[in-house]
Structure 1
Amino acid sequence: MNDPKRGDNLIDNAREEIVGMAKEGLAHPSTKPVLTGAAIGAVAGAVLPVVSWPLGLLAGAGFALYKRLRP
């Protein structure tokens, strides 16, 4: 089970990470991997016929952030 006291809650961890990236910009260690994931997702979304690039961008950024939080 996820225990908020131990910091295992994915939503809280993601919020902390996103706030940290917003405050520190490119100096934050997660910013560059998440931006890279967003770019890869946008390119994949542009190439795939069913998915648009904004959806690919969000999916790529979300996946990269998830992999930073839960390797």
Structure 2
Amino acid sequence: MSLDRLDALETRIRDLVKLVQELKRKNGLLEEELKTARQQLAQQDDMNRRWEMERTDIKTRIEKVMSEIELIECI
């Protein structure tokens, strides 16, 4: 193998090592973004559940008041 070919191979290997390092760095960043997104989604799910419970409670209370109003109207 000539020195020129060896130099070219060495350059390609260095470039590949740099590429692998960059991909690992980007992968780490993406994993952090995914973790953050999952945490935000979990928080949003919790908030949606609370709102749904509050909505159900309000609906029940309104129905009760409406029933009481109907009773008053009947009297």
Structure with greater Cα Rg: 2
Q: Which has the higher contact order (CA 8 A, sep 6+)?
A: 1
Alignment TM-score, normalising by the size of structure 1: 0.30
Structure 2 length as normaliser, TM-score? Answer: 0.29
Higher normalized helix content (fraction of residues): 2
